[in-house]
Amino acid sequence: MAFNPDVHQIKLLVINCGKLLWPEERNVTTLYRKASEALGIPTIETTSASATHLPTPKESAQERPEKFASTCPKCGEKSYYIVSLCKSCKASEGGKYKVMFECYKCGYSEKSEEPMVVWLERLGIDFGTQTKKSLGIETLTDEGLK
């Protein structure tokens, strides 16, 4: 199973509620459990065994095609997704191709020599410069190790 960003955002909200209720508590797991109980919300356990990786482009396109897939030029289904290719992978042909578009329904694919950032701009995706905080990511080192 892939990491679910929606569940992560819910957990962050619950943890922030916990920080307001128990400002002296530093353990986010404890804050999450105590705040969930106080709010009457069931906890959602996420372990490294259940969330083993961030979703791949294919998984994202399959789970939410309306957001992460476009229409395949061959089969016409909304199942066409973009993949970044590394220089050493076979599909890049020695680094010649940087991006591949692939359909998870019919298997049709196209490669492009243009970098991922160019394609993202064409698709109207502009990430700009972002910080962990603006992305809603919290880590142990945010406030320094104590």
Q: What angle do CA 65, 8, 142 make, to 5 degrees?
A: 130
- Residue range(s) defining the domain that contains residue 41: 5-52
Instruction: Quote the tokens at residue 83.
Output: 């993949």
Instruction: Quote the tokens at residue 145.
Output: 């190790």
**Same structural domain for residues 69 and 106?**
yes
**Same structural domain for residues 37 and 18?**
yes
- Judged against a pLDDT cut of 90, whether residue 77 lies above it is answered with yes
Q: How many structural domains compose the chain?
A: 2
**Same structural domain for residues 43 and 61?**
no
Residue 37 pLDDT grade (very low, low, confident, very high; cuts 50, 70, 90): very high
3-state SS class at 62: helix
Q: What pLDDT was estimated at residue 144? A: 60
**Same structural domain for residues 61 and 118?**
yes
**Sequence-distant (≥ 6) Cβ neighbours of residue 103 within 8 angstroms:** 72, 74, 75, 77, 79, 80, 81, 109
pLDDT tens readout for residues 100-139: 999 999 999 999 999 988 888 887 777 677 777 777 777 7
**Same structural domain for residues 17 and 38?**
yes
